[in-house]
Every structure is written in C-alpha cells, then in structure tokens.
Chains A and B, each alone.
Chain A
Amino acid sequence: MKQAYVGVAILFLVGLLTSGMFLLLSHLASAYRPTKVKAMPYESGINPLGDTRERYSVKFYIVAMLFIVFDIETIFFIPWAVIFRDLGLFGLIEMFIFIFVLGVGLAYAWKKGALEWD
C-alpha cells in the first residue's frame, strides 16, 4: 500500500502549483498603483489608534490550551475505537475510566470559568 502515497505526493504538488499559479497570475495581470491611503489598514475610514499586535485577552489562550488537551484525548479515542470490539469488556471499562477522567477535567475547567467566553 506504500505506493498509495504517490497519489498523495502528486496531489500535494498539484495543490501547491494551483495556489502558486493563482498568486502569480493575479500578480502579473493586476494593476499596481499603491498610495499611502490605500496601504492604510481598514478601520472604517478612520486613522487607527494604537497598535493591533499587542497583548490581547487571555481568554483566547485558554481556548488554545483546552484544545490541545481535548484534541489529544480525542486522538487516543481513535485507535481504541478501531479495535474496541476485539478488546471486549476490558476495553470498555478502561475507556469508561478514561472518559470519566476527561469529564472530570472538563468539569474542572468549566467550574474554574475557563469556558466563560464573554
């Protein structure tokens, strides 16, 4: 089955080529008349106040951390799910414990207010 990856490689090549072609084509074909006002970032027509890239709210970092935790747990689910029927009762109980731990983690994050978005 290794040769199946030839298909993936060709596909990646085609995908990258398409993207590159789009960029190149529009770069070559489009007009280019920059002015100072045109190059200003859009803020409803008013000169922006302050910088954009400053320290922003911690809430967004929390989402990222939660994601890492739960997405990795999800990855553990997948091999289990594939062979779950061969594992029998043992696999079932083990995964119950796993989900329980995961649930406790979620409940903790919830309780601590990590899931308050506003």
Chain B
Amino acid sequence: MSSTLTLPLPDLVIGSEPPADAEQSPSVKALRSRFGDAIRAVRMDPVGTPVISMEPGRIHEALQFLKADPDQAYDLLLDVMGADPGGELVIQVWYQLWSMKHGRMLRLLASLPRSGLSIRSAVDLYATANWLEREVYDMYGVHFENHPDLRRILMPENYDEGFPLRKDFPLRGRFARSEQVKRALNRSTEDVYAREELALAGLLDDEAIAPRPDTMHETEDHLEGEKMVINMGPQHPATHGVLRLVLQLDGETVVRCIPHIGYLHTGFEKTCEYREWNQVIPYTDRMDYLAPMLYNIGYVLGVESLLGVEVTPRCRVVRVILSELNRILGHLLWLGTGAMDIGATTVFLYTFQERERIYNLHEAYCGGRITTSVTRVGGMVADLPVGWLEACREFVERLPKTLDECDRLLTRNSIWQSRMIDIGVIDADAAIDLGLTGPNLRGSGVAYDVRKARPYLGYDEYDFDIPVGKVGDTYDRYLVRLEEMRQSVRILLQALDSVPDGPINVSDPAVILPDKSEAMSSIDAMISHFKLVMEGLQVPAGDVWYSIEATKGELGFGLISDGGSKPVRCRFRGPSFVNLASLPHMVEGGLVSDVIACNASIDIVLGEIDR
C-alpha cells in the first residue's frame, strides 16, 4: 500500500456516528473569534460538514481568511450554488470549501434578501468561482459585485423570462410555447455572440470592453494579419457534444478562446424539484450518460445521508463494483475519442468493444444499457442476476489486455507524445485555483481523490493507488486515466472476491418497498407499500452537500429537503462544468490542433455541464 496521500484520515463516516458538535470544529472556532458578530448560525450537516451562516457582506472577507490562514487553508472551492428555500423570502448562496492540507470540509452560507440580491464575487480568491457564480446569477439573479464577466451561462444571452430556478418561476417558463419558439427563431447574429466576441471581430466600437491584450508575442516588424474569429462547435466533430468555442485565431495560433455552453440545457435541477426523491434517479442517468451509474449511486448516497440510512453490506460492495465498472466505462470513452481526435482512429474501436461488454453487463443487470437508473434510496433496483458476478469477473480479467494494447499503440508513439507532452500545462496551484478535480487535478500532481479523502461505500477497505502526474500536461492526464483504469481493475477484483451474501436492500419499510409477495400477504407490508407509493419517500428536513468521485472529477449533490416527499433544491455539481472552465487557460497561445487535444484531455460530457 502506497502512502502518497499526505491527507489525514477522514473523519466523516456516512450515516454511522451522529455528527459531532459543530462548535468543536477548529474552523468554526477560528471564524467565531474573528467574525463572531457576523455569524448568524452554526450547525452540522448530516455528513459532518460544519455549516456557517454569515452576514452576506462579510462572506468575502471570511473566504479570504479561510484561504490564507495556514491553520485553515481552504484552498479548493468545490461549489458555489444558489438555493431558493421557498417562501419568497431569501435566496441562499452556498460556498462549499475543502482544505487539502487539513482534510476538512466547510460550508459558508449567505442568505440574501430578495430586495438586495447582491454579494461580492469570490473570483479574485478562487478562479473557479467565475463560472459557478455565473450560474447562480443565471439561475437566481444574484448579482456578484466585481465579477469580471457576469453574464448568463446556461440560458441564452438574450433570455428574457427571468431566473429559472427561483420558486416563483413556473416549470414551463413564463412565455407561451409559441412565443418561445418565435424568439428562438428570430435571433440575429449579434444575439449569439457575447459583446467581447463582437469586439474581437471588430464589429463593436466600445472602448469599455476592448479585447484582452494578445497572449502571443508581438513581433514588431511583422505585418500582423487580421485575426479570424471562428466558431468551433456546436456542430463540430471534435467538441464532444454541443459545446461551442469561439476562437480568435492568428493564422493557426489561438489568441482567445471563449466557451459557450447551455445548448443541451433542459433544466434538470428545476424538474427535479417537481419530482419525488426516487423519481429523480432517472434524471441522474442523463447527465453523465457515459458513466450513468456513478450518478445514480452518488445521488442516492446523498439522499441516504439525509435520511440517516445505511445500506446493507452486500449493497455497498455491489455499488463499488458498479462504480468502478462505470469509471472504466467513462475512461474508455475518453481514451477512444481522445485518440480519435488526434487521428488514431483504431483505438476508438478497440475501446468501444470493451464498452459494449460493460453495456452488456448493464443490460444483464437492469435492462438498460445507457439509462440505467439502477439505484433506489436504500438499496438497488434489484439483486444481481445469477451468474452476473462471474460474467463481470470474466470481463475484468480480460480488460487489461485491451488496455495494454492501447498503451502499446499510443504511449510511446512519437507523434502521440509530441501532440501531448507540454500541451495544455496546468500546474498544481493553478489546477486547485481553477477548481479542477478528478484526473485533471491528479494529472497536475495533486493526489486528491474523494475515495481516499472522504471514503464512502467502504473504499478505505480496498487496496488501490492514486496515480498522479508531474507536469500537468495533456500527456500526464492521459497517463493518469490509463493507470486509473488499471487501479479500477484492482478494486474490482478485490470487490468481486468479497461480495457478501444477504439482502441487497435495507429492511426499513419507510424507505424501501416491501417484497411483492409480502405486500400481498401481510397487512403491515401492504400499508407501507401503499404509503410509499401514494405519498412517496419522506426525507427529514435538512440539507447536505454530498460528493463522490465520478469519472470526471468530484461529483457533488447539494440537496435540501423540507421534510416532504420532493426535494426543495437538487443541485448537481458536475465536475465537467468546472473542468471545462479551465480550457481557455490551456489553449490560449497554442495552436488549433491543441484546442482539440486539450478539450479531449479535460474529458467533458455536455450532459452534465448543461443539465
């Protein structure tokens, strides 16, 4: 067992001991002593994260302190999310922080009155806050002061219907369908470009938003050519979905890159507020559809932590197996498409063969191949079919052969190396600042993995390593993912050896539907069946920010319950969303071909970015 991780052992164990008193947390003590007058309330959330509710005006100051103070060192801003708890009173803004050094999680909470939806932006402290705050602005209309680029992100720039995630916003939008269609069709060219882009193309005489100084060297005695503004995407073979990058090119050199997202936005988070807790699960499939079960599992873990339910030992191991299978599923797709973007077409088909085998396992288990919806709060949709574990083992044992083959085809290939080494370099500090998680962060040399830092599903019982890169270039990210698949195989082999017998679901009748035969024969079972079906699962009031390690990074779920059968807020912190924001940092100054290599190396899935 390696000892790479300088992180202390985690002190958060899901669902077992009751969370300790929040006042005992060193961060809370420090904040009390410095910002005592600004703290409104302190409590502990179900997974043991201290939640500090503060005066909105002091939040920025507190963040500054928490980041700079060596005893706190909250260097990773995991999430900035908005929430409308209802009642037309306040809008909450959550800041979810993680300290690499101390292995501590903390949540700052600002409640903004509807009359003054304004708070100081944290972009100057955490670069990752840029897109996250834009999303809060887009969805709730919270104005972030001093934000460099506060404009809509998921909704179109000229969206006039308001702020969709507010409770007073109707599910189907404010305008009639015909009006929405009319507006969509009548968009002019200027409507689909940001003002900065119009300025780049020389179509806007506005001194206030002059284009940023070029990142490339200016050779004074060269006659500079006109810089071309070109759209890469949404309909482009290599943007991995409907991602749009507006590139300003000087010849082949990228001077400026502005990503546009939201083409796939369907308002999952809004819809989920109108669904019962278990009905949310099918929506989770459709976000990271490349590794759907990880979303299924992460979501129910979050709800279970609110419920205080602990799943059966068999369920835990099965969830680990499915998690790791899906991690391989996601990484294989990344490997294949990444190689194809760089021109190595054959690897794509090799990896897809293996993906088909995983999909066959999906199908054998739950009937679905891509949209699995395999979990239920408190357990799984069903127990494993007979022979499934053997089929899974067969797959796991043959996978390394394919991995080795791809490894041999690519890793030492001269062209592959020259296309990847020292391309899109992000060093460790920048990676943390940008909020990268998952293989992207580890490629930059930071050994942060939720499975080790805050083990869930008993990941601490498995023997596996976390590969980290050294330079943080595209090649390192490639090597890290390749090795992660091998580590997943290691975990899978251990898990397959240790699947315990016993029930897969908890026996709590308030959580899980009773067995059909029982419901037909016992009146108690019949009643609980009836209640669960008619009223839905009742989740106690509370909120939680729960995260797991998905293929693309840290997948967070911000859940708020008011004790009813539907979530009040269902926030999905998709890792790709945050990771994609780092693309301009990687590609500006590089070549057009590097954009493709970098975009591939970030490994995004537009389903979870746009939601």
Contact for B228 among A50, A59, A117, CB less than 8 A:
A50
CB distance from A53 to the nearest CB of B (A): 10
For B590, the chain A residues whose CB sits under 8 A away are 118
Q: Contact: B231 with A48, CB < 8 Å?
A: yes
Q: Contact: A56 with B226, CB < 8 Å?
A: yes
Contact for B197 among A47, A49, A54, CB less than 8 A:
A49
Q: Contact: A50 with B253, CB < 8 Å?
A: no
For A52, the chain B residues whose CB sits under 8 A away are 228
Contact for B232 among A44, A47, A58, CB less than 8 A:
A44
Cα of A112 to Cα of B369 in the assembled complex, Å: 58
CB distance from B179 to the nearest CB of A (A): 22
For A54, the chain B residues whose CB sits under 8 A away are 225-226, 228
- Select the stretch in B198-206, B522-530, B534-542 that faces chain A: B198-206
- Give the residues from 218 to 273 in chain B that come closer than 8 angstroms, CB to CB, to chain A: 219, 222-226, 228-236, 244, 250-253
Q: Contact: A57 with B250, CB < 8 Å?
A: yes
CB distance from A52 to the nearest CB of B (A): 8
Q: Known A59-B251, A118-B591; judge A46-B231 contact (CB<8 A).
A: yes
User: Quick check: is A90 within 8 A (CB to CB) of the other chain?
Assistant: no
Cα of A48 to Cα of B202 in the assembled complex, Å: 13
Q: Contact: B189 with A49, CB < 8 Å?
A: yes
Cα of A58 to Cα of B250 in the assembled complex, Å: 10
Cβ contacts B3-38/A at 8 Å (1 or 0 each): 000000000000000000000000000000000000
- Give the residues from 40 to 88 in chain A that come closer than 8 angstroms, CB to CB, to chain B: 43-50, 52, 54-60
Closest to B242 in A: A45
Instruction: Name A's interface SS.
Output: loop
Q: Contact: B192 with A47, CB < 8 Å?
A: yes
CB distance from B274 to the nearest CB of A (A): 32
Q: Contact: A44 with B226, CB < 8 Å?
A: no
User: Quick check: is B193 within 8 A (CB to CB) of the other chain?
Assistant: yes
Contact for A43 among B203, B231, B251, CB less than 8 A:
B231
For A117, the chain B residues whose CB sits under 8 A away are 252
Q: Contact: A57 with B233, CB < 8 Å?
A: no
Q: Contact: A55 with B226, CB < 8 Å?
A: yes
- Considering residues A46, A54, A60, A113, which has the most beta carbons from chain B within 10 angstroms of its beta carbon? A46
Q: Contact: B252 with A50, CB < 8 Å?
A: no
For A57, the chain B residues whose CB sits under 8 A away are 224-225, 250-252
For B235, the chain A residues whose CB sits under 8 A away are 44-45
Contact for B233 among A44, A47, A59, CB less than 8 A:
A44
Cα of A44 to Cα of B231 in the assembled complex, Å: 6
Closest to A59 in B: B251
Q: Known A45-B234, A55-B225, A117-B252; judge A50-B189 contact (CB<8 A).
A: no
Contact for A46 among B201, B202, B219, B244, CB less than 8 A:
B244
Q: Interface residues, chain A, CB within 8 Å of chain B? A: 43-50, 52, 54-60, 113, 117-118
Q: Interface residues, chain B, CB within 8 Å of chain A? A: 189, 192-193, 197-198, 201-203, 219, 222-226, 228-236, 244, 250-253, 590-591
Q: What are 23 A-B pairs with beta-carbon distances under 8 A?
A: A43-B230, A43-B231, A44-B233, A44-B236, A44-B244, A45-B235, A46-B192, A49-B193, A49-B198, A50-B202, A50-B203, A50-B228, A52-B228, A54-B228, A55-B226, A56-B225, A56-B226, A58-B223, A60-B251, A113-B219, A117-B252, A118-B253, A118-B590
The 9 tightest CB contacts between A and B, nearest first, are: A57-B251, A45-B235, A57-B225, A47-B189, A54-B226, A46-B231, A49-B201, A50-B201, A56-B225
